[in-house]
A = this chain, B = another copy of it.
Amino acid sequence: MGSASRKTFLPLDPVTFSNESKAVIDFIADYYENLEKYPVQSTVEPGYLSVMLPESAPYCPEPLQDILEDVSNCIIPGVTHWQSPNFFAYFHANASTAGFLGEMLCSGFNVVGFNWISSPAATELESIVLDWMGKMLKLPSSFLFSGTGGGVLHGSTCEAAVCVLAAARDKALKELGGETRRHSPSNFRLIETSFSTGFSLSPENLRFAIEDDIKSGLVPLFLCATIGTTPSGAVDPIAELGKVAMEFKLWLHIDAAYAGSGRICPELRHYLDGVELANSISMNPHKWFLTNMDCCCLWIKEPKLLVDSLSTDPEILRNNASKSKAVADYKDWQIALSRRFRALKLWVVIRRHGLANLMYHIRSDIAMAKRFEALVGEDERFEIVVPRKFALVCFRLKPKVEEEDLNRKLVEAINSSGRAFMSHAVLSGIYVIRCAIGTTLTQQHHVDALWKLIQDKAQSLLM
């Protein structure tokens, strides 16, 4: 036991809490200050950390200063810097001061809001913020609590999709007459997209696939359409797909994880035309909406269907508020029982920035992407492969003869320089370079420097 006692062991003493937390704040502020000095993509080799850290936990407590030194010396070299303004690889994980503050409040209260009674503010703020967010995105009132629907915060799009899929399956089974043999989770159908539609899902192909499945005795029940796909930022035609979905009674879920945030700007709103035909829609404020990880908004027209599929009712959680049905118990809207007070984070983000600055954030990223697209277009060695819609630009070096690996080599040259980090996709067999603009800190001069870097590396490769 050593010297442990109530006198020396004060794991949540307010004075220590304050002092040590402020030391970590200084550490993180210093990290942001120096962010551009680090190579964007980590250069460590697999297994680097196990040779730097002990094989087992310490018996005695260690000073915070030692831990922070290890974060500097051991952890940071292995971090790929998602907050670097020179990070252009994946859709972003926008950190912001406001998102960080909200995350601190969430972690500080550290409540487990599984049902209303376990912390009424957690449930009520979540409902209110989902309505705020839904109104900012101009969702029909059929998705809002103030209308006839409702929303919930999940950790990820995957979790949201699994939950609405369960609801859709159970709804279909009920309509088919309570058949108990459920459909296999392997019965997913991927419908090919192509250059001809800008990689958006074709309603005709969807109809063919549905009719095909029905002929084979299957029951198509769920369609996931995407606004802003990961490889190319493609937009599925929601209005047309929605009509097909309605005709065949499919549940239509819209995955607007990345591009959904754009809908706060009137000029980007049309991409979601037809949203009123969907059964559910999700988007991730933790991508492009200045909200630190993790935060995914899911709205659903008939929350009852989600609850029917996912609810549990253990005795220990029974209470009068739940019995009254006057409250939402969010544990019944998700996979897990436990849940964090994530709403605080999104609430602080929205209030601290205001719609005005949030629109500015989206618009300035799109303006930078437009400029980058123009720069690429002006250089005859390059071509834009897919027309840009949001802040993702898919381009490549035009290949001469059989230089298949040319663009792969270009990405590797850029990334190994440490000065920027990009990614790739393969669209109908064509290797394209993805330039995703939109970290919180990216400014015009970063994008200009990126283009210069790309040109230099291309020059070396083409020599």
Contacts and interface: CB of A to CB of B under 8 A. Distances in A.
A439 to B, nearest CB: 9
A65 B101 CA distance: 12
Given A47-B124, A79-B109, A11 B59 contact: no
A1 to B, nearest CB: 6
A93 B120 CA distance: 17
B18 A29 contact: yes
A121 B316 contact: no
Interface stretch (A154-162, A207-215, A246-254, A449-457): A154-162
A93 B121 contact: no
Contact of A357 (B46, B61, B83, B162): B61
Contact of A46 (B26, B116, B119, B315): B116
Q: How many copies does the complex hold?
A: 2
Interface string A60-74: 111010110001001
B294 A337 contact: no
A184 B181 contact: yes
B21 A293 contact: no
Contacts of A370: none
A459 interface: no
A366 to B, nearest CB: 13
Interface in A17-58: 17-18, 20-22, 24-33, 41-42, 44, 46-50, 53, 55-58
30 contacts: A3-B356, A4-B359, A9-B361, A12-B83, A12-B441, A15-B29, A17-B32, A17-B97, A17-B100, A18-B25, A21-B28, A22-B25, A25-B25, A31-B108, A46-B326, A53-B128, A57-B135, A58-B350, A58-B354, A60-B354, A61-B353, A67-B351, A67-B352, A80-B118, A82-B111, A99-B107, A112-B293, A156-B335, A157-B338, A316-B425
The 5 A-B residue pairs whose C-beta atoms are closest, nearest first, are A78-B121, A156-B336, A4-B360, A28-B108, A49-B124
